[in-house]
Chains A and B, each alone.
Chain A
Amino acid sequence: MDAETIRVLWFTVASALAGVALAAPFALGLAWLLARHEWPLKSVVETLAALPLVIPPVATGLILLKLLGRRGPLGGLAHSLWGMDLAFNWKAVPLAMAAMAMPLLVRGFRVSLEGVNPRLEQVARTLGAGEARVLLSVTLPLAWPGLLAALVLGLARSLGEFGATVILAGNIPGQTTTISLALYRAIELGHDQEALFFLAVCLALAFGTLALSEHLARLMVRRELP
């Protein structure tokens, strides 16, 4: 295994972990608002959050590029404030992965939070607990297997991310190449051995993360008193 292949492997895993870590707090906040509160335009936000699941990843990538490119509102802001470019460099990879993991995280977190009996939270409040204590001492401890399953699923999605990444980050060897992009390049160049290697890595990572996610989801049986 050459140095570039090793770099591609660790860069992909590190970017996927960073992307999920970046998206998780926002996803948890949104999932909590969706699961526990009624508010105006809730269904619109719910649909928007799920949109990257159904639109082509390339389209998501284009939206991200318009937002995070140097001429986009967020990318322009980052450039003017910190002189930082968010597109076509290594930073774009975790950002694209975060965007693609977000809908899975929101959905998984929401289902997990909804699986916690709201009566337990109500009783905790009657016992003097504020919202933060209720969340930390009741909701999250009961929802954690489902939350973890959603995190692992988000990680699996990020590891295999292609469409949004190639649009936002490009396929720059030594900079933004991930396993999926390396596989695409190997196929394009007719490097069959290399393509088969990256295919095997993709399959192993996908199988491992999905199996772990399924195992955790099985633990998320609603913990009710008999």
Chain B
Amino acid sequence: MKLELEDLRVACHGFETCYTLALEGRATALYGPSGAGKTTLLEAVAGLRPCRGRIALDGVLLQEDDRGLPTRARGIGYVPQDLALFPHLDVQDNLRYGAPGRAAAGPGFSEVAEALGLLPLLQAPAISLSGGEQRRVALGRALLAGPRLLLLDEPTANLDHALKAQVAELLKDLSQRFAVPFILVSHDAQEINLLCQQVACLEQGRCVALGRPSQVLGLDRSAAPFHAQPRAKVPALTAWLDAMC
């Protein structure tokens, strides 16, 4: 996957951000403090936020100046932080929303539902599920639509350490199994280190660092899973804390 952003201007929190960067690889992360423009960037790429500039995915133009492909035609899966499951539909109908023609018994559907451990929950209303189950449904729903790229906004936010580890492992497994590249937003350096080959650090809408997680975040990629370690310190945050002390 190669996502190129060139002079992409998006209104965000009262200021205009301008992104110029190229993200490559099967798994990429956007990292930075709250308000850095990570979610804004995902929404612009997905076509959910007005913007100007150039966006190209694997050489295909999604946006040129102020003209962009409609959201539905971009082939980009998006799992927002609040998951946005359709509360009036059961799990099966949520999963099939992006692939209405696909039979419930079809290989794609059952393969994804099985991989996500959702087969026993297909008839359950989406709102009756636990947080972890809802996350799996949201992931499955996005995958079943057959996206060329998956955008995940803080996929492990508000989960305890055990669930975070499960979801992270699941993401890794799904991405490899179904060959769908993803870009995730995360505040968790260890999670990024575990899952991604590339990370872009954003600050106030600007990319201040881009590279391998071990380089950019200063972490050892061979380290134990993040849930077994103390939370990693962000270099910028460390410097700020040092200055405060």
A-side residues, CB < 8 A to B, are: 117, 119-120, 122-130, 137-138, 141-142, 223-226
Contacts and interface: CB of A to CB of B under 8 A. Distances in A.
A125 B71 contact: yes
B119 to A, nearest CB: 21
Contacts of B76: 126
Nearest to B97: A127
B141 A223 contact: no
B127 A226 contact: yes
Contacts, number: 64
Interface in B48-87: 48, 70-72, 74, 76-78, 80, 82-87
A129 to B, nearest CB: 6
A223 B127 contact: yes
Given A127-B97, A127-B142, A223-B127, A122 B87 contact: no
Nearest to A138: B86
B98 interface: yes
A223 B77 CA distance: 23
A51 B237 CA distance: 55
Given A127-B142, A141-B88, 6 more contacts: A122-B78, A124-B86, A126-B71, A223-B88, A223-B127, A225-B127
B145 interface: yes
Interface of B: 46-48, 70-72, 74, 76-78, 80, 82-88, 97-98, 126-127, 134, 141-142, 145
A129 B97 contact: yes
A225 B87 contact: yes
Given A126-B46, A128-B98, A128-B145, A225 B83 contact: yes
A126 B72 contact: yes
Given A126-B48, A225-B134, A119 B80 contact: yes
Contacts of B77: 126-127
B181 to A, nearest CB: 16
Nearest to B134: A225
A214 to B, nearest CB: 22
Contacts of B145: 126-128
Nearest to A223: B87
Q: Is the interface of A mostly helix, strand, loop or mixed?
A: helix
Query: Most B CB atoms within 10 A — which of A122, A128, A226?
Result: A128
Nearest to A120: B84
15 contacts: A119-B80, A122-B48, A123-B78, A125-B70, A125-B71, A125-B72, A126-B71, A126-B142, A127-B72, A127-B142, A127-B145, A128-B72, A128-B145, A223-B87, A226-B127
Given A223-B127, A225-B126, A225-B127, A126 B78 contact: yes
A137 B87 CA distance: 12
Contacts of A129: 72, 97-98
A119 B49 CA distance: 12
Nearest to B48: A122
A119 B84 contact: yes
Contacts of A126: 46-48, 71-72, 74, 76-78, 142, 145
Contacts of B84: 117, 119-120, 122-123
A127 B126 contact: no
A215 B245 CA distance: 59
Q: Which 8 A-B pairs have the closest CB atoms?
A: A127-B98, A125-B71, A123-B84, A126-B78, A223-B87, A119-B84, A127-B145, A122-B48
Contacts of A142: 87-88
Contacts of A130: 72
Contacts of A223: 87-88, 127
B145 to A, nearest CB: 5
B78 A224 contact: no
B200 to A, nearest CB: 21
A199 to B, nearest CB: 42
Contacts of A128: 72, 98, 145
Contacts of B78: 122-123, 126
A29 to B, nearest CB: 21
A124 B83 contact: no
A125 B97 CA distance: 10
Given A127-B145, A223-B127, A225-B127, A120 B86 contact: yes
B141 A224 contact: no
B43 to A, nearest CB: 8
